[in-house]
Amino acid sequence: MLPLPKKYFLTAASSEGNTSLTAFDGALLNARVGNTNLLRVSSILPPGCEFDPELKIPSGSLLPIAYGSITSSEPGVIISAAVAVGIKKDSFGVIMEFSGKCSKKEAEEKVVKMVEEAFAMRNLELEEVKVAACEHTVENIGCAFAAVPLWY
């Protein structure tokens, strides 16, 4: 059984590459998680998890992470990715992810609405929302990536 994560941060970045995979890899590197092994998780922030924007994850780590990403090879298209964390003190939180062919602002608005809906569905009071997002205009093959890495 994996231990309960104790820390998290939000990150968003984009990149170009010669292939979809290298564009994704470049976005991971720019988002400070490129030298880890991602373990994609669903959308619950553990109770008491502490926000640490300077958190450094050791290379090679198995990293629990909630993320949204989009890759496109359509030059000139704007792609965006966003994550939002909804927080209620003394409770668990909710993470929402979004990616699409839209502006950064639109992606941010969508994830915030998703967090608000998730809290309403759980009958929880939303006290704080943290958001990270990025926008990228595709040149050749581009990727936009936004994530909430969880750590111990």
In the set 43, 69, 72, 80, the catalytic residue is 43
In the set 42, 54, 59, 123, the catalytic residue is 42
- The pLDDT assigned to 17 comes to 98
| Residue 15 is a catalytic residue | no
The span from the CA of 74 to the CA of 60, in Å, is 32
Burial 6-36 (b: 16+ CB within 10 A, else e): eebbbbbbbbbbeeeeebbbbbbebbbbbeb
The span from the CA of 152 to the CA of 8, in Å, is 9
- The pLDDT assigned to 106 comes to 98
- The pLDDT assigned to 143 comes to 99
Structural domains of the chain ordered from first start: 7-151 (3.50.20.10)
Tokens for 97, please give them: 């992810």
| Residue 97 is a catalytic residue | yes
Can you point out the beta strands (E) in the chain?
7-8, 11-16, 37-40, 44-45, 50-51, 62-72, 78-87, 93-100, 128-137, 142-151
| Residue 103 is a catalytic residue | no
What does residue 51 show for φ and ψ, rounded to 5 degrees? -70, 125
In the set 35, 37, 73, 140, the catalytic residue is 37
In the set 15, 69, 80, 97, the catalytic residue is 97
In one-letter notation, the amino acid at residue 21 is: L
| Local confidence pLDDT in tens for the 152 residues of the chain | 788 999 999 999 999 999 999 999 999 999 999 999 999 999 999 999 999 999 999 999 999 999 999 999 999 999 999 999 999 988 999 999 999 999 999 999 999 999 999 999 999 999 999 999 999 999 999 999 999 999 99
- Give the pTM: 0.96
Closest of 4, 1, 9 to residue 33, by C-alpha:
9
| Residue 42 is a catalytic residue | yes
